[in-house]
Amino acid sequence: MLPPIPDWHAMAALALAVLALILFSQDRFRLESSALLIFTILVVLFYLFPMAGPGQVLQPQFFFLGFGNEAIIAIVSLMICAKALEHTGALQATARGIADAWITRPRLALLATLMLSAVLSMFMNNTPLVAMLLPLLVGVAMRSKIDASKILMPAGYAAILGGMCTVMGSASNIVVVSIATGLGMQRLGMMDFAIPAGIGAGAGILFLWLFGSRLLPTRKAPLENTEPRVFNGSLYLSAGGPADGKTIAEVLSMARGPIRLREIERGEGVFVARLPTLRLKAGDRLHVRETPSRLRELETLLGATLHAGQDKAAASSSSKVVKRAEEQQIAEIVVTSNSPLHGRKVEGNPFFQQNNLVPLALHRKGESGSASLDAQRNVELEAGDVLLVQGRKEAIRQLKISGIFLLLDGALDAPMAARRNLAIAISLGVVATAITGLMPISVCALAGAGMMIVGKCLTREQLRSAVDTRVIMLVVTSLALGNTIAYTGGSQYLAEVFTSQAGGLSQAMVVAVLMLAVALVTELVSNSAVAAMGTPIAFSVATSLGMPPEPLVLAVLFGANMSYLTPAGYQVNMMVMSAGGYRASDFLRLGIPLQLVVWIALSISMAWYYDLPW
């Protein structure tokens, strides 16, 4: 028998939660815009129609507290710490060591890769971790003649598995712990659920190691060879620069090595002879064919600017983008089958304007050199083509973690190796302090972020780019919705509906069913949103059944991390899909058995750990 319908405040909160889940699952809506819309409706609704509750009136101030919630403080601080680790290259030595082992002992190297991905993701955001590992693993696959599609998806899944083992493993974990503590449950420590989570994660990693490559089909990766990519680029000489007024012979001596100079353009379509005594002028274009690293070096040595002919649509804005300044950099983008560049022309493509990027050169697969970009603007791009682009560092970083493209190693600035040991020491201190319980995670993470800044482990620009406003807005809105559902009685109503249908199940089965239900929902919706809305429901279910709340709350936490069935379920999945050339069906082929293995292992470990009857 279903319980009676609660008052309209609770139903309005539940309706907003459903609307949020729908909006968050739609790719055509920006995540932060959807979150802001839901948050605004929530605030305005309860301002016009406040709800009187025990001890207070539910008004806008109640929702604004989310911006100062300890979950937000912890998440932002951990973002800064992870960015400092990425910027200093603190993890590259370990990752490259394992990458080298792939050449001699691939099976053991696969296990080491899975373990490294899982262990590191327990203590840092898995998005920059996977962004660092993918180019290395793609390179390893090409050098050792191993199909990249056999190793990239298991490595991505291992990062997700490791992230569910600690409080700081993912943003959704922090959200669950924060909401549960606010509802009256004893605060979960850093490693309080590491044993049951570790059993589930261990079962998943063992399964991936033994069967992952066997279940995955061979897919054609976007990049197929390791030949040095040589681009035809143009260097514009600046007035007063080191090369202005110098002869070609003098410029060649300045360049610290040979230059493959194809031609010199002086004025539109006017070319001059490449004589050693020719004196160069500001505005000359040196058409060269070099590797990206050599092009970057020549920019600095000659005081030149990398540029390519612009189509008319981009001409008005290109001058702002192409000026070589500290915030500008170049990157190699591999065109993948699911990217917005595939099958499109460079000419008139709005992608470059939307992302404030300038295409500089093109390397086509199977060619020893690269054709002039001007000559290739009307050719449709194919999977495997490599574009050299220039843009702001933050724009290129966002491309790298978006999952739409594969950016090759060296796309971002060289890390500050001098600060590497300091960044590692600070991060270990944060982890140790959290594990021992000397400080709450929000406090020790904030202290760690402060020390990273004081220790100059990242620049001001990197500090700004470390904080993802999409995550902040999503978490704030999810916290507001979760707390509202609990406060208005919506969670109690849903708990009564759940117990009326599952009341005959044992406690262990209730935990297992709730975990699976959350896992299926989070395949389509942000896991932080599902975690925030599911936690008060789990707490109310525990109250209704007379169970301790911790196993049910953890069922929500674990379920929110079990995103294996769709590429849209987790950002890591999107990144892996581009790099490995996967199809959406490939995630089902490996994700379904993996989800069953992890779900069964977690259900058994939870029943054993919390002594729940079957």
Q: What is the pLDDT of residue 601?
A: 97
Query: Which residue stretches of 345-440 are H helix?
Result: 350-354, 393-402, 420-436
Distance CA 123, CA 120 (A): 6
**8 A C-beta contact, residue 146 and residue 140:** yes
Answer whether 176's CB lies under 8 Å from 551's CB: no
Give the model confidence (pLDDT) of 278-309 as tens digits: 888 888 888 887 777 677 778 778 888 775 44
- Report which of 163, 167, 169 is spatially closest to residue 192, judged by C-alpha positions: 167
Return d(Cα 292, Cα 388) in angstroms, integer: 8
User: pLDDT, tens digit, for every residue of 419-470?
Assistant: 888 988 999 999 999 888 888 888 999 999 999 999 988 877 777 777 777 7
Q: How far apart are CA 51 and CA 61, in angstroms?
A: 13
> What was the pLDDT predicted at 410?
46
- Backbone phi and psi for residue 522, each to the nearest 5 degrees, phi listed first: -75, -5
559 contacts 522 by C-beta, under 8 angstroms: yes
Using CA of residue 529, residue 132, residue 593, residue 164, what is the dihedral sign? Answer: negative
Query: What pLDDT sits at residue 282?
Result: 87
Better-predicted residue by pLDDT, 195 or 314: 195
Half-sphere exposure of 88 (CA within 13 A, CB side): 26
Q: What is the pLDDT of residue 13?
A: 87
The mean of the pLDDT values for the chain is 80
Mind listing the pLDDT tens digit for each residue in 74-108?
Answer: 888 988 888 888 777 776 667 667 767 777 788 88
CA 412/CA 323 separation, integer angstroms? 18
**Tell me: the pLDDT tens digits for 133-163?**
777 777 677 666 778 888 889 999 999 999 9
Sketch out the chain's domains with CATH numbers: 230-307 (3.30.70.1450)
pLDDT for residue 377: 64
What percent of the chain is modeled with pLDDT above 90?
21
**How close are the terminal C-alpha atoms of the chain, in Å?**
24
Highest mean pLDDT among 50-64, 301-315, 346-360, 509-523: 509-523
